[in-house]
Amino acid sequence: MDRPRYFTPAEVAAHNTVADLWVSFQGKVCDLTPLMERYKGDALLLPIMERAGKDISCWFDPETKDVRRYVDPLTSCVRYCAPRGRFVHVPPNGPRSDWATDIGQPWWRDERYQVGLLSAKTRWIRVINTLTSQEQRLQVCSEETLAEILQRYLRYNCHACSYTWKHEGVSLDMSRTLSENNVLNDDLELQQLRLDEDLFAPAILLYFNDDLTEG
């Protein structure tokens, strides 16, 4: 099975328009652009549009994976909790003749909208090309393998596959994550020392293999 793609919160935040709208919730990243087009002009899109590019996990119950509910103290009826207003696929509180019940899967359960997973922890690393002395800072997902991090780096060096990646003199296993390669995360220790963790990003050194590939 193909591994899911991981995204940083910053990558999700970049998709914050009606024509390109992503959200994250409960660890998933969803592209709701088709939903925006399908219900274009519907007022029920407004709460989603307000949260474009953001995490909306607070809208959902972590156990049921459904929209949060509460018991109305006046009617003792179960209602959907929507602090920002009712949104697409959330049924109305009372009987309505204009409410279509045959919506199929609500969008938050529809896997067609999911494009990947939200990283539980992002890290900054420094990728240093020892051939050219060029250095690039990258924000990566802790769940990503070095091969997936390499794909992020290709925009800065299209020949990155022609290098051996090392950390502290040890060649890295590209099928493993940074932690699995003993590129440890010192954020907690740096926080205890009141040091800026961004200034102490680990360095990954690239050594040219003399077999330059096609870009």
CATH code assigned at 102: 3.10.120
Task: Report the side by side order of strands in the sheet with 135-141.
Answer: 135-141, 122-129, 203-208, 163-167, 170-171
Residues 149 and 189 reside in one and the same domain: yes
pLDDT for res 32: 98
Ranges of residues in the chain whose predicted pLDDT is under 70: 1, 186-199, 211-215
pLDDT for res 74: 84
Q: Find the domain containing 128 and state its range.
A: 122-208
pLDDT for res 100: 72
Residues 96 and 63 reside in one and the same domain: yes
pLDDT for res 52: 97
pLDDT for res 72: 85
Q: How far is the C-alpha of 53 from the C-alpha of 23, rounded, in Å?
A: 5
- Is residue 32 domain-resident? yes
Angle formed at CA 34 by CA 108 and CA 68, multiple of 5 degrees: 20
Q: How far is the C-alpha of 92 from the C-alpha of 75, rounded, in Å?
A: 15
Residue 18 CA: distances (Å) to CA of 31, 105, 201: 11, 22, 35
Residues 10 and 114 reside in one and the same domain: yes
Structural element, H or E, at residue 17: strand 16-17
The 3-state DSSP class for residue 36 equals helix
Structural domains in the chain (count): 2
- Is residue 33 domain-resident? yes
- Is residue 1 domain-resident? no
Residues 24 and 79 reside in one and the same domain: yes
SS (H, E, C) 116-182: EEECCCEEEEEEEECCCCCEEEEEEECCCEHHHHHHHHCCCCCCHHHEEEEECCEECCCCCECHHHC
Residues 128 and 173 reside in one and the same domain: yes
CATH code assigned at 179: 3.10.20.90
Residues 14 and 100 reside in one and the same domain: yes
pLDDT for res 195: 62
User: pLDDT tens digits for 130-162?
Assistant: 999 999 999 999 999 999 999 999 999 999 999
pLDDT for res 87: 94
- Is residue 84 domain-resident? yes
With contact defined as beta carbons under 8 Å apart, do 134 and 146 qualify?
no
- Is residue 215 domain-resident? no
